[in-house]
Amino acid sequence: MKFVYLLITFILVFNGILAQHPSGKIVVDRLYSAALENEGGEDPTRRVTVYLPPGYDNSNDRYPVLYYLHGFTWSDSMQIVGDKFDKILDKAIATGKIKPVIVVMPDHHTLFRGSFYTNSSLTGNWADFTAIDLVKYADENFRTIPNRESRGIVGHSMGGLGAIKIGMLFPDVFSCVYGISPAVMGMVKGWGPSYTGYKRAQEIKTREELIKGYDDFDANAAVAIGRAFSPNPQNPPFHADLPYTYEGENLVVNYPTIKKWKANMPLHMAEDYVENLKKLTALKFDWGKNEEYRYVVQGCEAFSLELEILGINHYAEEYVGRHFDKVWTDDGRALHSVLPFFDANLTFE
């Protein structure tokens, strides 16, 4: 009996060893960007987290680069601590889901918990920082393959919006784009007057109250988007205009602000960026069938229809899941959809 126990123990340990994958290396750095000099109090020196694939230090190989953009309230460091993205990358490389690749993750967590990857006259030029300064930093400091065919951009939620938007604006920098449950894609129903965040944002008077926890998530998102899309230094306390406000219980529709928001949303930008979209090697986005943020579903479906009308090749996919599940799990999108997409469409040598 003792022999049987020893044998079982040996098998369990041996299988555990086999289950381990070679580990990549995490590098954390800080990058100053003149593009991020701003009047809104944001730090123009940003943290950058870089994943280097297993074997990087023992070779002279060059690698494609994925630029990963995190979601609202999240950060580059939380991609490692919370989502274990590095472990997913280790597993994906070990199991052949993607060939060895460098991944660069910038910190876009702002004073109001998200930049929305947009050039703003108040908070700084976050799109330029990502597409120009960050790419230059990566190419100068790591063994990248420094051309567009070997660069992809991807993100989740706010980051999905950022990936699609930056891909549209900078098709000569990135060739492949993937948006995981991209948020704020257009002025769809969910971002209309029924969105509860607009009214609540008027009731809150301090940043500390606005960003405390997640009770006022909708109001926080509305203000952060306003600071990105429609900043107004003359409109305290948050120095942003919103598309809908209230005078007592009466709704006020702010048409000039709606126009500014549309100018920063891919659904409404697409017609003006057709030629840029056609330059992309591959474009894909997805959303969960049970998505709790219905504007994500509405925005993705409307954007896919608009791309179809404009004759833009793309992949749009609904899966069984919600906003945060089926993404970073062993059966999730990152491992089984996102990384294989880039493996198939990036140039690796």
Give the span between the Cα atoms of 263 and 259, in whole angstroms: 6
The pLDDT of residue 140 is above 70:
yes
Average pLDDT over residues 301-306: 98
**Confidence at residue 349, expressed as pLDDT on a 0 to 100 scale:** 85
Task: Kindly state the average pLDDT of the residues 152-161.
Answer: 98
Domain ranges of the chain: 24-185+266-345, 190-258
pLDDT at 19: 52
Q: Exposed, middle or buried: residue 30 (CB in 10 Å: 0-12, 13-18, 19+)? A: exposed
Q: How do residues 183-196 score in pLDDT, each as one tens digit?
A: 999 999 999 999 99
Averaged pLDDT, 202-206: 96
pLDDT of residue 20: 76
pLDDT higher than threshold 70 for residue 4: no
Report the distance separating Cα 174 and Cα 31, nearest Å.
20
Residues 6+ apart with CB under 8 A from 38: 44, 120, 122, 123, 124
Chain segment 31-48, per-residue pLDDT in tens: 999 999 999 999 999 999
Q: Are 48 and 106 in contact (CB under 8 A)?
A: yes
Please tell me the CATH superfamily of domain 24-185+266-345, with its number: Alpha/Beta hydrolase fold, catalytic domain (3.40.50.1820)
Judged against a pLDDT cut of 90, whether residue 2 lies above it is answered with no
Q: List, in sequence order, every beta strand (DSSP E) within 207-281.
A: 244-247, 250-253
Residue 60's pLDDT is: 95
How many Å apart are CA 219 and CA 199, to the nearest integer?
8
